[in-house]
Structure 1
Amino acid sequence: MSDLVLLAVFVGAGLATFLIRLSFIALEGRVRLPSWFRTSLQFVPPAMLSALIAPDLLMRDGHLDLSPGNARLLAGAVAILIAARTRSIGWTIAGGMAALAALEYLL
């Protein structure tokens, strides 16, 4: 693939992403979105975060790994417990990373 085609793909994808995000900002206040749609938007961030994190926690070398030897899965469980207990992003990240470092050293 030539560099020019690759550049066009990148620019096109960036422009499409920009326009999709701009549409919500530009139309705010001008268009009344249905209440069910506005309510469902609150679930987008947790769903996206789960979609980004779950494969890293559950997969190792392209295969599902739910074993006790999966340090990432165990550290993720520790981070979930810290998040539920403290409701603090900082403590969750610090505790999860510390658990991951300790578990990777031990396992």
Structure 2
Amino acid sequence: MDGQIGIFCIICAMAAVTYATRCAPLLVLSGRTLPAPVIRFLSHVPAAVLAALAAPALLIQENHLQLGLENLTLWAGLAALALAIKTRGFFGPVALGMAIVAVGRLF
């Protein structure tokens, strides 16, 4: 029974830390106007996070960096990126990337 209480306490502590890290900026910055350079900097955070999540998935296969022609996900990602830049859309690039991977794996 002690092990279950310990696990419960760990889960509660993790929840409290997660809540605090998300709530603190809202409480500290509410009612304040941020300087323009800070707003410009923060506007780049979503793209940086997306790139940090996508890059390993596109570039690493079987625990090795793969930049060659055999890396199907890299080519699908590059095609999706090109379409996203051209159309500024979301669904089209996702569908294109999925289609390229599906057709590539079929053949």
User: What range is the shorter-chain TM-score in?
Assistant: 0.7 to 0.9
Aligned to 2:57: 56
Letter in 2 for 1:43: H
User: What CA distance in whole angstroms lies between the structure 2 residues aligned with 1:5 and 1:51?
Assistant: 34
Task: Please identify, of 23-32 and 68-77, the stretch whose mean Cα deviation from structure 2 is larger.
Answer: 23-32
Higher relative contact order (CA 8 A, sep 6+): 1
Whole-angstrom distance in 1 between the partners of 2:58 and 2:8: 33
In 1, distance between residues paired with 2:102 and 2:96? Answer: 10
Name the CA distance, whole Å, in 1 between partners of 2:33 and 2:14.
28
The answer for unaligned runs of 5 or more in structure 1 is none
Q: What are the superposed Cα offsets for residues 11-70 of structure 1, whole Å, 9 maximum, x if unpaired?
A: 333322222222233334433433322221101100111111110100011110111001
Give, as a single letter, the amino acid of the residue that structure 1 aligns with 2:31: R
- 1:8–1:62 Cα change, 3 Å: farther
Q: Distance in 1 between matches of 2:57 and 2:34?
A: 35
Give how far 1:4 is off: 4.5
Please identify the structure whose Cα radius of gyration is greater: 2
8 Å CA contact 1:58, 1:65 repeated in 2? yes
Pairing of 1:52-91 with structure 2 (within 5 A): 52-91=53-92
Q: Does 1:103 align with 2:104?
A: yes
- TM-score scaled by length of structure 2: 0.81
Gapped regions of structure 2 (runs ≥ 5): none
Structure 1 residue 5, shift from structure 2 partner: 4.2
Contact 1:75-1:103 at 8 Å conserved across structures: no
CA RMSD of aligned residues (A): 2.0
CA change 1:62–1:37 in 2 (3 A) is same
